[in-house]
Amino acid sequence: MAIKLLIAGGFGAGKTTLVGTASEIRPLRTETSRSAAGRAADDVPGLEPKEATTVAMDFGRITFEGNVMLYLFGTPGQQRFWFMWEGLARGAAGAIVLADTRRLTDCFGAIDFFEQRGMPFVVAVNCFDGAPRYGQARVRVALDLDPGIPIIMCDVRRRESVVQVLIAVVEHALRLKGSAAR
């Protein structure tokens, strides 16, 4: 069985890192180094400068138990590339919205996108070193998430952590599908 998942979220939330950590094949990346104009537009004061950004997508694959294959599609984070999300979302079973607590509201766009399309999603909070730590309850209030939407704390550099998030989104998508069929 093959399942397509989208990895979305704000600029620099760790989408490319997540796909790279999870993937058993060499991930396809479409990163470019950032132009001076891009830096001026997107860099956030106080955060480390970012050298590269995704312009089209990331792609990776992970197999569970030898027969469930997850195809991971990372979206570009910068708002000017969002026109590509529509195509990437086609046929996806669910999505992960990655959030960075230093700029939590950057993922509002992604949440709106999936809510409007009725696409199952979970919110994964990428716990960057030194970033503020909020509990699930505070993240839920801050992002105005329905009680049914899972929120998972993660570190996208750690494989076990990413696997937990992947399992959460697949389970959530299956649960919603099951309740729709009833």
Ligand X SMILES: Nc1nc2c(ncn2[C@@H]2O[C@H](COP(=O)(O)OP(=O)(O)OP(=O)(O)O)[C@@H](O)[C@H]2O)c(=O)[nH]1
Residues that bind ligand X (CB under 6 A): 11-17, 50, 53-54, 76-78, 126, 128-129, 155-157
What residue 13 binds from ligand X, Mg ion, none (CB within 5 to 8 A, per partner kind)? Answer: ligand X
What residue 73 binds from Mg ion, ligand X, none (CB within 5 to 8 A, per partner kind)? Answer: none
Q: How many helices (H) and strands (E) does the chain have?
A: 6, 8
Minimum distance from CB of 14 to Mg ion (Å)?
A: 8
Q: How far apart are CA 35 and CA 60, in angstroms?
A: 26
Is residue 54 part of the contact set for Mg ion (CB under 5 A)?
yes
Q: How far apart are CA 106 and CA 97, in angstroms?
A: 10
Residue among 44 and 69 whose Cβ is closer to ligand X: 44
What residue 155 binds from Mg ion, ligand X, none (CB within 5 to 8 A, per partner kind)? Answer: ligand X
Residue that is written with structure tokens 């490319």 in the block? 16
Select the residue interacting with Mg ion from 6, 7, 16, 93 (CB under 5 A).
Answer: 16
Q: How far apart are CA 133 and CA 124, in angstroms?
A: 13
Residue among 12 and 94 whose Cβ is closer to ligand X: 12
Is residue 126 part of the contact set for Mg ion (CB under 5 A)?
no
> Quick check: 157 and 124 in contact, CB under 8 A?
no
Q: How far apart are CA 8 and CA 165, in angstroms?
A: 13
What residue 11 binds from ligand X, Mg ion, none (CB within 5 to 8 A, per partner kind)? Answer: ligand X
> Quick check: 60 and 19 in contact, CB under 8 A?
yes
Interface contacts to Mg ion, rule CB under 5 A: 15-16, 54
